[in-house]
């Protein structure tokens, strides 16, 4: 009897090894399938944008609205045999706010288009789009809580929904501020890495780095400035009109004063352009 136990243990270990191998094969196949689907999706997206151009995102938003109405219709059909007030209120909320949902679809469709095909020009607006997405998700969650609370009567849901409704402007402004801080940090890190690559290339070739290098650093402008040259520097970096950035800061100033605070932070963090003249 004692001599048979090792055989049983050996068979169990062998089964475990086979199971591990099958799970590993399964994981590799799923990963390969995901990569193929991702590659196919990028190919279809590229074809869509090349075919329809600037009108492509709008057409995508219209198609999304078709599926939106189909989803609302499905909710109403499901609710026919049950006749529950909760599902009826959900479908009513969706239909009453179709205009808002369509604008959201258009916003995110065009943000996806510009971030892919005009990344450098669109990059300054990415924090605003991200903040709008966060705010929209919280707004939807807030309304869902209100509808659920009408039937559940939970004080916790009521308090959370009320807090979100009061803090939505603050959350939007804070998300925009953090987004621009992260964007400036990313640009600074990219500039630093680019400088390191240039220095390494210079050391390898033992030649002077050419002045026409593609490396660009973010500076405050001494040529086009009203206060600290932040907007002028951003405009020079992104090759855009500085008026656009000035308007953005003015609009953010009305969001709980975040524009003023963010401008001061940029004024401190972003260095002067050493090639410009500065009045001391």
Residue-level pLDDT at 280: 53
Cα–Cα distance between 165 and 140 in angstroms, integer?
11
Is it the case that residue 244 has pLDDT exceeding 60? yes
Q: How confident is the model at residue 9 (pLDDT cuts 50, 70, 90)?
A: low
Instruction: Select the more confidently predicted residue: 122 or 37.
Output: 122
Would you state the pLDDT for residue 209? 43
Looking at per-residue confidence, does 223 or 126 come out higher? 126
User: What whole-number percentage of the chain has pLDDT above 70?
Assistant: 74
Q: pTM of this prediction?
A: 0.58
Residue 188 has pLDDT above 90, yes or no: no
The residues, any chain, with a CB within 8 Å of residue 17's CB and separated by 6 or more, are none
Among the residue ranges 137-141, 161-165, 231-235, the one predicted with the least confidence is: 231-235
Q: Where are the beta strands (DSSP E) in 168-243?
A: none
Q: What pLDDT is recorded for position 131?
A: 92
Whether pLDDT at 148 is above 80: yes
What are φ and ψ of residue 18, in 5° steps?
-65, -40
Say how far apart CA 247 and CA 161 lie, in whole Å: 32
> Distance between CA 31 and CA 164 in Å, rounded?
39
Question: CA-CA distance, 6 to 10, in Å (whole number)?
Answer: 6
**pLDDT tens, 64-107?**
999 999 989 988 898 888 788 888 888 899 999 999 999 999 99
The answer to whether 276 and 224 are in contact (CB under 8 A) is: no
**Is the CB of residue 157 less than 8 Å from the CB of residue 141?**
no
Tell me how crowded residue 243 is: count the other CB atoms within 10 A of its CB.
10
d(C-alpha 253, C-alpha 166), whole Å: 19
The residue written with tokens 């090349």 in the block is 50
**Tens digits of residue pLDDT in 193-223:** 666 666 666 556 544 444 444 456 788 887 8
- Given a contact cutoff of 8 angstroms between Cβ atoms, the answer to whether 240 and 124 are in contact is yes
């Amino acid at each position: 009897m004692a001599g048979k136990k090792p055989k049983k243990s050996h068979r169990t270990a062998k089964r475990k090894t086979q199971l591990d191998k099958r799970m590993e094969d399964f994981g590799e196949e799923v990963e390969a399938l995901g990569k193929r689907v991702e590659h196919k999706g990028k190919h279809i997206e590229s074809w869509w944008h090349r075919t329809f151009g600037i009108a492509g995102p709008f057409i995508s938003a219209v198609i999304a609205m078709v599926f939106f109405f189909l989803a609302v219709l499905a909710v109403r059909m499901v609710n026919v045999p049950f006749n529950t007030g909760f599902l009826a209120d959900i479908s009513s909320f969706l239909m009453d706010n179709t205009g808002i949902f369509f604008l959201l679809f258009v916003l995110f469709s065009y943000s996806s288009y510009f971030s892919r095909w005009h990344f450098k020009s669109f990059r300054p607006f990415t924090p605003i789009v991200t903040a709008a997405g966060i705010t929209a998700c919280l707004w939807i969650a807030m309304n869902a809580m209100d509808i659920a609370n009408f039937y559940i009567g939970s004080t916790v849901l009521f308090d959370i929904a009320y807090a979100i409704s009061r803090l939505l402007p603050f959350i939007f402004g804070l998300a925009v501020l953090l987004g621009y801080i992260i964007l400036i940090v990313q640009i600074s890190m990219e500039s630093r890495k680019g400088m390191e690559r240039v220095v390494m290339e210079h050391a390898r070739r033992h030649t002077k780095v050419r002045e026409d290098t593609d490396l660009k650093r973010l500076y405050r402008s001494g040529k086009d400035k009203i206060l600290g040259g932040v907007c002028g520097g951003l405009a020079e970096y992104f090759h855009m009109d500085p008026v656009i950035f000035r308007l953005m800061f003015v609009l953010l100033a009305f969001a709980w004063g975040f524009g003023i605070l963010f401008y001061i932070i940029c004024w401190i963090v972003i260095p002067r352009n050493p090639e410009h003249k500065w009045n001391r």
